[in-house]
Structure 1
């Protein structure tokens, strides 16, 4: 048996970046800042989110930097070869299957995007 499930609640660190492909697919990219319960003084953990399809369009239309969201998905590792050095690189990405919009419109309007604290 194998299990790859990630559940996170936090605030978006960027405005959504949405891409439409010729195939009709839609992809949205966001970053998510998640505070640790017992280690708030260390700052948030940052995660890159990858969202596809109708959920991607919802994220693009209803979130912005500072929005409070919950996500459920799976962890994937992107790998590539650095163009300049040829060194193999990798980064973890959360492939989102479910997106919950947790904050109200009023919460998002009150967020100061010039302040990076969440």
Structure 2
């Protein structure tokens, strides 16, 4: 009969404990985790993205998670500059709002505390105005 490996976790009563790697290396400090979109935030963004792909407006996207902000970039073609950037910057949460939508030129189209309200900037339809 084959012997099964011991997969049971040892208790702290026998002298073993789990140690964070950053604590084990005394000279190194743990780097902060990058800012990410939470599941519900990403769900709201992908819902708008799916709708715009269905309408033929958008074709590709990129996700960037940096130490100070998270960015969801939207492209018409993958080789171009992003058409829009949906950003989450927690440092601005208490001031202007953590979420913003920026266009290619860098102009902030909408900013706020609630992502769903910020994403409503994509609900507007452009209309031809005649004189």
TM bin, normalised by shorter chain, reads under 0.3
TM-score norm. by structure 1 comes to 0.28
TM-score by length of 2: 0.26
Relative contact order higher in (CA < 8 Å, ≥ 6 apart): 1
Larger Rg: 2
Task: Point out the structure with the larger helix share.
Answer: 2
